Structure 1
Amino acid sequence: MRVLLVGATGLVGRHVLAQALADPRVAAVIAPVRRHLPAHPKLQSPQVDFDRLPGDAPWWRVDAVICTLGTTIRKAGSQAVFYRVDHDYPLGVARQAQAHGARAFALNSALGADPASRVFYNRVKGELERDLSALGFESLTFVRPGLIGGTRDEFRLGERVAGVVLGALGPLLPPRWRINPALRIAAALLDAAIHARPGVHVVGSERLAEAV
Protein backbone atom coordinates (compact mmCIF):
# COMPACT_ATOMS: atom_id res chain seq x y z
CA MET A 1 0.00 0.00 0.00
CA ARG A 2 0.92 3.66 -0.35
CA VAL A 3 0.92 5.82 2.77
CA LEU A 4 0.99 9.61 2.97
CA LEU A 5 2.72 10.86 6.12
CA VAL A 6 2.57 14.49 7.19
CA GLY A 7 4.70 15.60 10.11
CA ALA A 8 7.52 13.19 9.27
CA THR A 9 10.22 15.33 10.91
CA GLY A 10 8.59 15.51 14.37
CA LEU A 11 9.10 13.17 17.32
CA VAL A 12 6.24 10.78 16.53
CA GLY A 13 6.48 11.32 12.78
CA ARG A 14 10.10 10.17 12.67
CA HIS A 15 9.11 6.89 14.32
CA VAL A 16 6.18 6.42 11.95
CA LEU A 17 8.49 7.02 9.00
CA ALA A 18 11.07 4.51 10.22
CA GLN A 19 8.44 1.86 10.95
CA ALA A 20 6.63 2.37 7.65
CA LEU A 21 9.84 2.17 5.61
CA ALA A 22 10.74 -1.08 7.38
CA ASP A 23 7.27 -2.62 6.97
CA PRO A 24 6.95 -4.95 3.95
CA ARG A 25 3.23 -4.18 3.73
CA VAL A 26 4.05 -0.59 2.81
CA ALA A 27 5.23 -0.21 -0.77
CA ALA A 28 5.76 3.56 -0.67
CA VAL A 29 5.76 6.44 1.80
CA ILE A 30 5.01 9.94 0.57
CA ALA A 31 6.12 12.51 3.13
CA PRO A 32 5.53 16.12 2.01
CA VAL A 33 7.96 18.35 3.88
CA ARG A 34 9.49 21.80 3.83
CA ARG A 35 12.96 20.27 3.41
CA HIS A 36 13.99 16.98 1.81
CA LEU A 37 14.43 13.87 3.95
CA PRO A 38 17.33 11.39 3.58
CA ALA A 39 16.87 9.25 0.48
CA HIS A 40 15.28 5.80 0.71
CA PRO A 41 14.03 3.52 -2.09
CA LYS A 42 10.48 3.56 -0.69
CA LEU A 43 10.38 7.27 0.19
CA GLN A 44 9.17 10.26 -1.78
CA SER A 45 9.46 13.59 0.03
CA PRO A 46 8.10 16.42 -2.11
CA GLN A 47 8.80 19.91 -0.83
CA VAL A 48 5.57 21.78 -0.19
CA ASP A 49 4.15 24.97 1.24
CA PHE A 50 1.28 23.85 3.47
CA ASP A 51 -0.42 27.21 2.90
CA ARG A 52 -0.50 26.44 -0.84
CA LEU A 53 -0.89 22.72 -1.25
CA PRO A 54 -0.81 21.57 -4.89
CA GLY A 55 -4.19 20.21 -5.92
CA ASP A 56 -3.09 18.04 -8.83
CA ALA A 57 0.16 16.39 -7.67
CA PRO A 58 0.24 12.66 -8.54
CA TRP A 59 1.63 11.78 -5.10
CA TRP A 60 -1.78 12.52 -3.53
CA ARG A 61 -2.93 9.11 -4.77
CA VAL A 62 -2.45 6.99 -1.66
CA ASP A 63 -4.38 4.36 0.27
CA ALA A 64 -4.06 5.96 3.70
CA VAL A 65 -2.90 9.11 5.48
CA ILE A 66 -1.08 9.38 8.80
CA CYS A 67 -0.97 12.86 10.32
CA THR A 68 1.48 13.73 13.10
CA LEU A 69 1.67 17.41 12.17
CA GLY A 70 1.63 19.83 15.07
CA THR A 71 3.42 22.63 16.89
CA THR A 72 3.26 24.54 20.18
CA ILE A 73 1.82 27.98 20.82
CA ARG A 74 5.27 29.13 21.93
CA LYS A 75 6.86 28.01 18.67
CA ALA A 76 3.93 29.22 16.56
CA GLY A 77 4.00 32.64 18.19
CA SER A 78 0.23 33.06 18.42
CA GLN A 79 -2.98 31.11 18.79
CA ALA A 80 -3.91 31.99 15.21
CA VAL A 81 -0.76 30.42 13.77
CA PHE A 82 -1.10 27.41 16.08
CA TYR A 83 -4.66 26.88 14.81
CA ARG A 84 -3.50 27.04 11.22
CA VAL A 85 -0.78 24.43 11.77
CA ASP A 86 -2.71 22.06 14.04
CA HIS A 87 -6.15 22.36 12.44
CA ASP A 88 -6.13 23.89 8.99
CA TYR A 89 -3.06 22.09 7.60
CA PRO A 90 -4.18 18.56 8.60
CA LEU A 91 -7.70 19.23 7.36
CA GLY A 92 -6.40 20.53 4.03
CA VAL A 93 -4.25 17.44 3.59
CA ALA A 94 -7.19 15.19 4.45
CA ARG A 95 -9.43 16.83 1.86
CA GLN A 96 -6.86 16.56 -0.92
CA ALA A 97 -5.96 12.95 -0.14
CA GLN A 98 -9.59 11.89 0.11
CA ALA A 99 -10.38 13.58 -3.20
CA HIS A 100 -7.63 11.46 -4.77
CA GLY A 101 -8.90 8.17 -3.35
CA ALA A 102 -7.51 7.77 0.18
CA ARG A 103 -9.81 5.56 2.26
CA ALA A 104 -8.16 5.76 5.69
CA PHE A 105 -6.90 8.57 7.91
CA ALA A 106 -5.05 8.20 11.22
CA LEU A 107 -4.47 11.29 13.36
CA ASN A 108 -2.07 11.83 16.23
CA SER A 109 -4.48 13.84 18.38
CA ALA A 110 -4.31 14.39 22.15
CA LEU A 111 -5.72 13.26 25.47
CA GLY A 112 -8.60 15.59 26.29
CA ALA A 113 -9.42 16.54 22.70
CA ASP A 114 -12.85 18.17 22.84
CA PRO A 115 -14.35 20.91 20.63
CA ALA A 116 -16.18 22.27 23.70
CA SER A 117 -13.09 22.39 25.94
CA ARG A 118 -12.13 25.63 27.67
CA VAL A 119 -8.49 24.71 27.12
CA PHE A 120 -7.41 26.13 23.76
CA TYR A 121 -5.09 23.25 22.87
CA ASN A 122 -7.71 20.59 23.61
CA ARG A 123 -10.38 22.60 21.79
CA VAL A 124 -8.30 22.83 18.61
CA LYS A 125 -7.62 19.09 18.67
CA GLY A 126 -11.32 18.43 19.25
CA GLU A 127 -12.38 20.70 16.42
CA LEU A 128 -9.98 18.92 14.07
CA GLU A 129 -11.41 15.53 15.08
CA ARG A 130 -14.92 16.85 14.51
CA ASP A 131 -14.10 18.30 11.10
CA LEU A 132 -12.25 15.18 9.97
CA SER A 133 -15.24 13.07 11.00
CA ALA A 134 -17.46 15.19 8.78
CA LEU A 135 -15.39 14.26 5.70
CA GLY A 136 -16.64 10.67 5.81
CA PHE A 137 -13.46 8.61 5.51
CA GLU A 138 -14.15 4.88 5.32
CA SER A 139 -11.70 4.43 8.19
CA LEU A 140 -10.82 7.19 10.67
CA THR A 141 -8.68 6.71 13.77
CA PHE A 142 -7.84 9.21 16.48
CA VAL A 143 -4.81 8.27 18.56
CA ARG A 144 -4.94 10.34 21.76
CA PRO A 145 -1.66 10.24 23.68
CA GLY A 146 -1.02 12.05 26.92
CA LEU A 147 2.57 13.03 27.64
CA ILE A 148 4.73 11.73 24.79
CA GLY A 149 7.97 10.03 25.76
CA GLY A 150 11.04 10.44 23.59
CA THR A 151 13.80 12.83 22.61
CA ARG A 152 12.77 15.88 20.60
CA ASP A 153 15.02 18.06 18.48
CA GLU A 154 13.67 21.07 20.37
CA PHE A 155 13.76 21.57 24.14
CA ARG A 156 10.37 21.83 25.85
CA LEU A 157 10.80 22.63 29.55
CA GLY A 158 7.22 21.78 30.50
CA GLU A 159 7.40 18.37 28.88
CA ARG A 160 10.81 17.68 30.42
CA VAL A 161 9.57 18.47 33.94
CA ALA A 162 6.34 16.52 33.44
CA GLY A 163 8.31 13.58 32.09
CA VAL A 164 10.50 13.43 35.19
CA VAL A 165 7.49 13.64 37.52
CA LEU A 166 5.33 11.13 35.66
CA GLY A 167 8.29 8.81 35.19
CA ALA A 168 8.84 8.71 38.95
CA LEU A 169 5.16 8.27 39.73
CA GLY A 170 4.44 5.84 36.88
CA PRO A 171 3.67 2.74 38.97
CA LEU A 172 1.21 4.72 41.09
CA LEU A 173 -0.70 6.34 38.23
CA PRO A 174 -3.69 5.04 36.26
CA PRO A 175 -2.56 3.83 32.80
CA ARG A 176 -4.11 6.81 30.97
CA TRP A 177 -1.86 9.27 32.86
CA ARG A 178 1.41 7.42 32.31
CA ILE A 179 4.00 8.41 29.72
CA ASN A 180 3.16 7.31 26.17
CA PRO A 181 6.38 6.36 24.29
CA ALA A 182 6.57 7.81 20.80
CA LEU A 183 7.35 4.33 19.44
CA ARG A 184 4.00 3.00 20.66
CA ILE A 185 2.09 5.98 19.33
CA ALA A 186 3.73 5.53 15.94
CA ALA A 187 2.91 1.83 15.90
CA ALA A 188 -0.75 2.54 16.69
CA LEU A 189 -0.96 5.08 13.86
CA LEU A 190 0.66 2.76 11.34
CA ASP A 191 -1.54 -0.15 12.43
CA ALA A 192 -4.65 1.98 11.93
CA ALA A 193 -3.54 3.07 8.47
CA ILE A 194 -2.63 -0.42 7.28
CA HIS A 195 -5.66 -2.27 8.60
CA ALA A 196 -8.11 0.57 7.77
CA ARG A 197 -10.88 -0.81 9.95
CA PRO A 198 -14.26 0.61 8.88
CA GLY A 199 -15.73 3.36 11.03
CA VAL A 200 -14.36 5.86 13.54
CA HIS A 201 -12.00 4.60 16.22
CA VAL A 202 -10.23 6.09 19.24
CA VAL A 203 -6.99 4.76 20.69
CA GLY A 204 -6.75 6.16 24.20
CA SER A 205 -3.62 6.97 26.17
CA GLU A 206 -4.17 3.96 28.44
CA ARG A 207 -3.47 1.69 25.44
CA LEU A 208 -0.25 3.57 24.71
CA ALA A 209 1.04 3.73 28.27
CA GLU A 210 4.60 2.91 29.18
CA ALA A 211 4.91 -0.45 30.92
CA VAL A 212 5.72 -0.23 34.63
Structure 2
Amino acid sequence: MKSAMVLGATGLVGQRLVNLLLHDHRYSEVTCLVRRPLSASAFHDPHNKLRPVVIDFEMLQDYQGYFSVNHVYCCLGTTLKAAGSKSAFRKVDFEYVHIAAQLTRAQRANSFVWISSVGADAKSRHFYLRVKGELENAIMGMSQLPNASAVRPSLLLGAREDSRFLEDIAQKTAPIWQHVLQGALKKYRPVKPEDVAHNMVALQAWQ
Protein backbone atom coordinates (compact mmCIF):
# COMPACT_ATOMS: atom_id res chain seq x y z
CA MET A 1 0.00 0.00 0.00
CA LYS A 2 1.11 3.55 -0.74
CA SER A 3 0.84 6.85 1.11
CA ALA A 4 0.16 10.25 -0.41
CA MET A 5 0.48 13.86 0.66
CA VAL A 6 -1.57 16.75 -0.77
CA LEU A 7 -0.96 20.48 -0.55
CA GLY A 8 -3.87 22.68 -1.59
CA ALA A 9 -6.58 20.21 -0.60
CA THR A 10 -9.32 22.84 -0.32
CA GLY A 11 -9.02 24.21 -3.86
CA LEU A 12 -11.11 23.37 -6.89
CA VAL A 13 -8.73 20.63 -8.06
CA GLY A 14 -7.46 19.75 -4.60
CA GLN A 15 -10.85 18.68 -3.26
CA ARG A 16 -11.47 16.43 -6.24
CA LEU A 17 -7.98 15.00 -5.97
CA VAL A 18 -8.27 14.18 -2.26
CA ASN A 19 -11.62 12.45 -2.76
CA LEU A 20 -10.11 10.50 -5.65
CA LEU A 21 -7.19 9.37 -3.49
CA LEU A 22 -9.47 8.42 -0.59
CA HIS A 23 -11.23 5.95 -2.90
CA ASP A 24 -8.05 4.65 -4.54
CA HIS A 25 -7.33 1.18 -3.13
CA ARG A 26 -3.62 1.68 -3.72
CA TYR A 27 -3.41 4.30 -0.96
CA SER A 28 -3.68 3.47 2.74
CA GLU A 29 -3.19 7.04 3.97
CA VAL A 30 -3.68 10.55 2.55
CA THR A 31 -2.06 13.40 4.47
CA CYS A 32 -3.23 16.95 3.71
CA LEU A 33 -1.24 19.99 4.81
CA VAL A 34 -3.77 22.81 5.22
CA ARG A 35 -4.04 26.36 6.58
CA ARG A 36 -7.20 25.66 8.56
CA PRO A 37 -9.22 22.59 9.64
CA LEU A 38 -10.89 20.76 6.77
CA SER A 39 -14.63 20.68 6.38
CA ALA A 40 -15.73 17.07 6.81
CA SER A 41 -18.61 17.62 4.40
CA ALA A 42 -16.17 18.28 1.53
CA PHE A 43 -14.64 14.79 1.68
CA HIS A 44 -15.92 11.23 1.64
CA ASP A 45 -13.57 9.06 3.67
CA PRO A 46 -15.17 5.62 4.11
CA HIS A 47 -11.86 3.93 4.93
CA ASN A 48 -10.53 6.52 7.40
CA LYS A 49 -7.50 7.40 5.27
CA LEU A 50 -7.60 11.19 5.62
CA ARG A 51 -4.94 12.80 7.82
CA PRO A 52 -5.35 16.61 7.84
CA VAL A 53 -2.54 18.63 9.41
CA VAL A 54 -2.94 22.38 10.01
CA ILE A 55 0.34 24.17 9.35
CA ASP A 56 1.86 27.60 8.82
CA PHE A 57 2.91 27.71 5.17
CA GLU A 58 5.36 30.48 6.01
CA MET A 59 7.25 27.78 7.91
CA LEU A 60 6.69 24.97 5.41
CA GLN A 61 10.25 23.72 5.73
CA ASP A 62 9.55 22.89 9.41
CA TYR A 63 7.09 20.19 8.31
CA GLN A 64 9.60 18.21 6.28
CA GLY A 65 8.75 14.93 8.00
CA TYR A 66 5.27 14.87 6.48
CA PHE A 67 6.86 14.57 3.03
CA SER A 68 8.07 11.08 3.89
CA VAL A 69 5.41 9.49 1.70
CA ASN A 70 5.35 7.71 -1.65
CA HIS A 71 3.68 10.43 -3.72
CA VAL A 72 3.38 14.18 -3.26
CA TYR A 73 0.62 16.13 -5.00
CA CYS A 74 0.79 19.93 -5.01
CA CYS A 75 -2.38 21.87 -5.90
CA LEU A 76 -1.28 25.19 -4.39
CA GLY A 77 -2.19 28.30 -6.34
CA THR A 78 -3.83 31.68 -6.11
CA THR A 79 -4.65 34.70 -8.31
CA LEU A 80 -3.22 38.20 -8.41
CA LYS A 81 -6.57 39.50 -7.21
CA ALA A 82 -6.70 37.17 -4.22
CA ALA A 83 -3.00 37.56 -3.40
CA GLY A 84 -3.14 41.35 -3.55
CA SER A 85 0.28 41.86 -5.13
CA LYS A 86 2.75 40.24 -7.49
CA SER A 87 5.11 39.39 -4.65
CA ALA A 88 2.32 37.71 -2.64
CA PHE A 89 1.24 35.78 -5.74
CA ARG A 90 4.80 34.62 -6.38
CA LYS A 91 5.17 33.48 -2.77
CA VAL A 92 2.27 31.03 -3.16
CA ASP A 93 2.64 29.96 -6.79
CA PHE A 94 6.43 29.78 -6.91
CA GLU A 95 8.04 29.76 -3.46
CA TYR A 96 5.69 27.40 -1.64
CA VAL A 97 5.61 24.92 -4.52
CA HIS A 98 9.38 25.07 -4.98
CA ILE A 99 9.94 24.44 -1.27
CA ALA A 100 7.51 21.52 -1.44
CA ALA A 101 9.54 20.02 -4.28
CA GLN A 102 12.74 20.45 -2.27
CA LEU A 103 11.21 18.73 0.76
CA THR A 104 9.97 15.92 -1.48
CA ARG A 105 13.52 15.41 -2.68
CA ALA A 106 14.94 15.59 0.85
CA GLN A 107 12.54 12.89 2.09
CA ARG A 108 13.12 10.73 -1.00
CA ALA A 109 9.46 10.45 -1.99
CA ASN A 110 8.92 8.52 -5.20
CA SER A 111 7.36 11.35 -7.20
CA PHE A 112 6.14 14.95 -7.20
CA VAL A 113 3.27 16.26 -9.32
CA TRP A 114 2.08 19.87 -9.35
CA ILE A 115 -0.31 22.13 -11.23
CA SER A 116 1.23 24.51 -13.74
CA SER A 117 -0.63 26.17 -16.62
CA VAL A 118 -1.05 25.83 -20.34
CA GLY A 119 1.26 28.40 -21.93
CA ALA A 120 3.70 28.46 -19.01
CA ASP A 121 6.89 30.12 -20.25
CA ALA A 122 9.72 31.67 -18.25
CA LYS A 123 10.16 34.23 -21.05
CA SER A 124 6.50 35.21 -21.27
CA ARG A 125 5.49 38.87 -20.98
CA HIS A 126 2.46 37.72 -19.00
CA PHE A 127 3.38 37.69 -15.31
CA TYR A 128 1.25 34.66 -14.42
CA LEU A 129 2.62 32.52 -17.24
CA ARG A 130 6.16 33.72 -16.58
CA VAL A 131 6.01 32.65 -12.92
CA LYS A 132 4.58 29.28 -13.91
CA GLY A 133 7.34 28.83 -16.48
CA GLU A 134 10.07 29.83 -14.05
CA LEU A 135 8.74 27.31 -11.57
CA GLU A 136 8.73 24.53 -14.16
CA ASN A 137 12.35 25.31 -15.00
CA ALA A 138 13.34 25.41 -11.33
CA ILE A 139 11.71 22.09 -10.43
CA MET A 140 12.64 20.19 -13.57
CA GLY A 141 16.21 21.38 -13.12
CA MET A 142 16.49 19.96 -9.60
CA SER A 143 18.86 17.03 -9.31
CA GLN A 144 17.79 13.87 -7.47
CA LEU A 145 14.07 14.69 -7.67
CA PRO A 146 12.62 11.58 -9.33
CA ASN A 147 9.49 11.60 -11.43
CA ALA A 148 8.67 15.31 -11.24
CA SER A 149 5.72 16.13 -13.49
CA ALA A 150 3.49 19.14 -14.13
CA VAL A 151 -0.09 19.18 -15.36
CA ARG A 152 -0.86 22.20 -17.54
CA PRO A 153 -4.59 22.90 -17.51
CA SER A 154 -6.32 25.78 -19.23
CA LEU A 155 -9.14 27.66 -17.47
CA LEU A 156 -10.92 25.50 -14.92
CA LEU A 157 -14.65 24.86 -14.95
CA GLY A 158 -16.56 24.65 -11.68
CA ALA A 159 -18.00 26.71 -8.85
CA ARG A 160 -15.56 28.48 -6.57
CA GLU A 161 -15.97 30.34 -3.30
CA ASP A 162 -14.04 33.22 -4.85
CA SER A 163 -15.37 34.54 -8.15
CA ARG A 164 -12.86 34.53 -11.02
CA PHE A 165 -13.96 36.57 -14.02
CA LEU A 166 -12.25 34.61 -16.80
CA GLU A 167 -13.26 31.26 -15.34
CA ASP A 168 -16.86 32.46 -14.98
CA ILE A 169 -16.86 33.31 -18.70
CA ALA A 170 -15.27 29.96 -19.55
CA GLN A 171 -17.97 28.18 -17.58
CA LYS A 172 -20.74 29.89 -19.54
CA THR A 173 -19.14 29.50 -22.96
CA ALA A 174 -17.57 26.03 -22.56
CA PRO A 175 -19.78 24.34 -25.21
CA ILE A 176 -18.60 26.88 -27.78
CA TRP A 177 -14.90 26.34 -27.03
CA GLN A 178 -15.28 22.57 -27.33
CA HIS A 179 -16.13 23.06 -31.02
CA VAL A 180 -13.83 26.00 -31.80
CA LEU A 181 -10.62 24.76 -30.17
CA GLN A 182 -9.59 21.73 -32.22
CA GLY A 183 -6.30 20.09 -33.15
CA ALA A 184 -3.28 21.95 -31.78
CA LEU A 185 -5.62 24.39 -30.01
CA LYS A 186 -7.37 21.64 -28.06
CA LYS A 187 -5.09 22.18 -25.07
CA TYR A 188 -6.62 25.63 -24.55
CA ARG A 189 -10.12 24.27 -23.93
CA PRO A 190 -11.55 24.95 -20.46
CA VAL A 191 -11.21 21.79 -18.37
CA LYS A 192 -13.03 20.15 -15.49
CA PRO A 193 -11.12 20.00 -12.19
CA GLU A 194 -11.84 16.29 -11.83
CA ASP A 195 -10.08 15.70 -15.15
CA VAL A 196 -7.02 17.55 -13.86
CA ALA A 197 -7.09 15.45 -10.68
CA HIS A 198 -7.23 12.23 -12.70
CA ASN A 199 -4.29 13.43 -14.81
CA MET A 200 -2.25 14.12 -11.69
CA VAL A 201 -2.78 10.58 -10.40
CA ALA A 202 -1.95 9.15 -13.82
CA LEU A 203 1.41 10.98 -13.79
CA GLN A 204 2.54 9.43 -10.53
CA ALA A 205 5.10 6.67 -10.56
CA TRP A 206 3.67 3.49 -9.07
CA GLN A 207 6.86 1.81 -7.92
Residue 203 of structure 2 aligns to a residue whose secondary structure is helix
2:94 aligned with 1:79: no
RMSD over equivalenced CA pairs, Å: 1.7
The aligned runs of 1:158-173 (5 Å cut-off) are 158-173=166-181
The aligned residue for residue 113 of structure 2 is 106
Please give the alpha-carbon distance, in whole angstroms, between the structure 2 residues aligned to 1:56 and 1:173: 43
The aligned residue for residue 27 of structure 2 is 26
Residue 112 of structure 1 aligns to a residue whose secondary structure is coil
Can you give the 5+ residue segments of structure 1 that lack an aligned partner in the other structure?
Answer: 197-212
Letter in 2 for 1:189: M
Using the size of structure 1 for normalisation, the TM-score is 0.86
Q: Which is worse superposed, 134-143 or 79-88? A: 134-143
Counterpart of 2:122 (choices 110, 115, 118) is 115
Structure with more helix by fraction: 2
Please give the alpha-carbon distance, in whole angstroms, between the structure 1 residues aligned to 2:58 and 2:189: 35
Rate the CA distance shift 1:56–1:171 in 2: closer, same or farther, 3 A.
closer
Please give the alpha-carbon distance, in whole angstroms, between the structure 2 residues aligned to 1:118 and 1:83: 15
Moved over 4 A (4+): none
Rate the CA distance shift 1:141–1:54 in 2: closer, same or farther, 3 A.
closer
Using the size of structure 2 for normalisation, the TM-score is 0.88
What's the CA shift for 1:21?
A: 0.5
Letter in 2 for 1:30: T
Please give the alpha-carbon distance, in whole angstroms, between the structure 2 residues aligned to 1:130 and 1:57: 23
What's the CA shift for 1:194?
A: 4.7
- Is residue 167–residue 178 contact of structure 1 (8 Å, CA) maintained in 2? no
What's the CA shift for 1:71?
A: 0.2
The aligned residue for residue 203 of structure 2 is 192
2:161 aligned with 1:150: no
Letter in 2 for 1:123: R
